A and B are shown apart, each in its own frame.
Chain A
């Protein structure tokens, strides 16, 4: 997790200290300690009941020898590894505006490995790192295997077992930003004034509906900060570290609901909470926040959620369920699941309205924005 701290200055006032530079220095330190540079090719069998977990166990048992190792996609390193002494490893940080609300403390830079230079997003794992680092990397590989567009996993740096540090890296897509980088405070209720943004949400609804359609997957942290958009109009989900992926089909409507509800509940919360909410955090750090689409608005929030997301989600879920070999049973299960989802989400929305009512506006939010 991100570890920003508060520091006291000489006058006794508290200041937020951004630890990004410190995180980058630590990363370069681990990179300097690398003993081996090895290829990584996740062997995920989607027919397994826990495809990622089994693939990860095989990887840790056979490919990692407990010495600090930089694993790289074979497209960069080839199929044979090299000793770190035989190659150049450097990292040059890049300046960004995106990703600064990442709970994980993601940072960006140019990784040089021998003659190859790759722009990467680096995600630190500092707790239970030998589990969470490979989890993140392998889950991305698994969802890509399933045909979903997401970031391209490119490298995994595992420090020796005692250090408990890992870094998962993805190719930095130059044009990519996340939904939390957009100022949504004036989007609702006049959503038709921004047809481009409406279209963007339709794309997101479709992606999430398809993710949930077979009842075997959930994203695990479907906040707005984990939804990415691209200049060519594509929207897709990122940060799959907490994803649930199984090869076993859902037993019934209830098991489908369990997968989809956790995602949609997180998304709804993220759409309601304002960027400054910081629920459970201290002095602006570590708490839960959102993009505040509905925050501070008097209009009907549930109707807004339906217009922006839910109606399209339902439409796509029903459309997908009506295809395939077992469409009769699947369609019935999905209808039951959607009914239950709607009840639960309406309840969540009422709760969010109460919570948001207790969050005072930032000074500038109280003034009218054109």
Chain B
């Protein structure tokens, strides 16, 4: 056992299961479950703070309640900390759900909401921000909510994996390629919902 593992287990900390893990290794974020001797486990995501354009994106998304969890750190802290719900998981690994009904969060709803989230990100900066790379790990889903409660959020640290939209590309076309990479051609069946969610959110404005 390495020293770092040893001290983690002594503190009752454990890396969150990969199925749920919201960390982005390349920005240095971590997702851990902390077990207190008295009480339920809590889950915390930490990452090195962003500066400049990324920090502005972060503030814009937080002000609209679109980043998952509760911020524990100050705006100027070098390390950002978020307390996140235990059930939150990246959408990257989720199997298709097509069950209809008022209490089913199926693929149609998920991709509609995903379109809305991406539109909000696009509008969060003047140059139009988009996710750089894997959308499946940039967005998390929360189970067991009341009807009409938000279920889809950006993962903490998302601002660090954004970039300005490349010139000459429409945001929907940009994401179509990226989402097809993550979800395979399954996305083709549902891409209309993504486009509708994106357009509706754009129409509503930031």
Which A residues are closer than 8 A to B by beta carbons?
Answer: 16-18, 20-21, 24, 92-98, 100-101, 107-108, 119, 172, 174-177, 180-186, 194-197, 199-200, 229-233, 275, 291, 363-370
Assuming A100-B99, A182-B95, A369-B184, is B104 touching A95 (CB within 8 A)? Answer: yes
CA of A55 to CA of B104, assembled, Å: 36
- Interface size band for B: 35 or more
Assuming A108-B144, A231-B86, is B104 touching A100 (CB within 8 A)? Answer: yes
Assuming A174-B87, A177-B19, is B144 touching A96 (CB within 8 A)? Answer: yes
Assuming A196-B19, A231-B17, is B95 touching A275 (CB within 8 A)? Answer: yes
Min Cβ gap B27→A in Å is 19
Supply 27 A–B pairs (Cβ within 8 Å), ascending by A: A20-B99, A20-B101, A94-B146, A95-B103, A95-B146, A95-B149, A95-B151, A97-B97, A175-B85, A177-B19, A177-B143, A180-B95, A181-B97, A182-B19, A182-B93, A196-B17, A196-B18, A197-B18, A229-B17, A233-B14, A233-B17, A364-B184, A364-B185, A364-B188, A365-B184, A368-B184, A369-B184
CA of A177 to CA of B86, assembled, Å: 11
Min Cβ gap A1→B in Å is 16
* Residues on B with beta carbons closer than 8 Å to the beta carbon of A230: 17
* Residues on A with beta carbons closer than 8 Å to the beta carbon of B184: 185-186, 364-365, 367-370
Assuming A177-B143, A230-B17, is B94 touching A97 (CB within 8 A)? Answer: yes
CA of A100 to CA of B107, assembled, Å: 12
Q: Which of B97, B102, B189 contacts A21 (CB 8 A)?
A: B102
Nearest 10 pairs of A and B residues by beta carbon: A196-B18, A369-B184, A367-B185, A18-B101, A175-B86, A364-B185, A100-B99, A231-B20, A97-B105, A183-B95
Min Cβ gap A297→B in Å is 15
In chain B, positions 67-84 with a C-beta closer than 8 Å to chain A are none
Min Cβ gap A202→B in Å is 13
Q: Is the CB of B104 within 8 A of A96?
A: yes
* Residues on A with beta carbons closer than 8 Å to the beta carbon of B110: 97
Chain A residue nearest to B95 in the complex (CB): A183
* Residues on B with beta carbons closer than 8 Å to the beta carbon of A366: 185
Q: Which of B16, B99, B186 contacts A231 (CB 8 A)?
A: B16
CA of A341 to CA of B35, assembled, Å: 40
Q: Number of contacts between A and B (CB, 8 Å)? A: 145
Q: Is the CB of B96 within 8 A of A96?
A: no
Tell me whether B43 is interfacial, beta carbon within 8 Å.
Answer: yes
Min Cβ gap A7→B in Å is 12
Q: Is the CB of B19 within 8 A of A229?
A: yes
In chain B, positions 9-43 with a C-beta closer than 8 Å to chain A are 14, 16-21, 33, 35, 41, 43
Tell me whether B100 is interfacial, beta carbon within 8 Å.
Answer: yes
Q: Which of A107, A184, A185, A231 contacts B103 (CB 8 A)?
A: A107
Tell me whether B89 is interfacial, beta carbon within 8 Å.
Answer: yes
Chain A residue nearest to B16 in the complex (CB): A231
Chain A residue nearest to B142 in the complex (CB): A174
Q: Is the CB of A24 within 8 A of B17?
A: no
Q: Is the CB of A181 within 8 A of B95?
A: yes
Min Cβ gap A347→B in Å is 28
Most A CB within 10 A of own CB, among B19, B87, B184: B19
Min Cβ gap A174→B in Å is 5
Min Cβ gap B195→A in Å is 17
Q: Mark B180-206, 1 if CB is under 8 A from A, else 0.
A: 011111101100000000000000000
Min Cβ gap B34→A in Å is 10
* Residues on A with beta carbons closer than 8 Å to the beta carbon of B19: 177, 182, 196-197, 200, 229, 231
Min Cβ gap B193→A in Å is 15
Most B CB within 10 A of own CB, among A20, A92, A195: A20
Tell me whether B106 is interfacial, beta carbon within 8 Å.
Answer: yes
